[in-house]
Amino acid sequence: MLFEIFIDAVAIIMALTGILGCIIPAIPGPPLTYASFLLLYLFNNPDHAIGGKFLIIWLAIVAAVTILDFVVQPYFTKITGGSKLAVRYSIAGMVAGMVFFPPFGIIAGSFIGAFIAEFVVNEKPLQSSLLAAFGAFLGFIMGTGLKLAASTTMLYYLIRFIFFPA
């Protein structure tokens, strides 16, 4: 009984850390939240209704969201006229913003990094630099939104499995 409570608590902490990881680039959000399902499944409490089919479906969702997260920001930057350098600077700006101005620095850093890449380094006009920066920012928001949607839905199921078993 005590071991099951410990496993449940660790799974919830993992899922909450996974949600935090959707915003902080250093923590793999959805994979960590998915790992909380695996923890419950491996230390099988008969009350928890996690099955193999459920795990496979969520593995596919987590894989898709993780891949899309790497594709969305460059795609939005590209369709708004940004370069690969803008994507790199956007990521660097996001990390710098996270370190120096958390939590809002993550969002602002993404925009500022892409803008600097286009306006200063690539010497593009102000309007096209701002558009590319907006694309990088929008891509970051979309990727983060996808990760948050997947991780919060997994947290919902995790809580349901732990506290309201079928």
- Are the CB atoms for 113 and 95 separated by under 8 Å? no
pTM for the model stands at 0.84
Sequence-distant (6+) residues with CB within 8 A of 132 are: 77, 80, 81, 82, 83, 86, 114, 115, 117, 118, 124
What pLDDT was estimated at residue 145?
95
- pLDDT of 69-117, one tens digit each? 889 988 998 899 898 899 889 889 988 988 888 778 888 888 999 999 9
Computed over every residue of the chain, the mean pLDDT equals 90
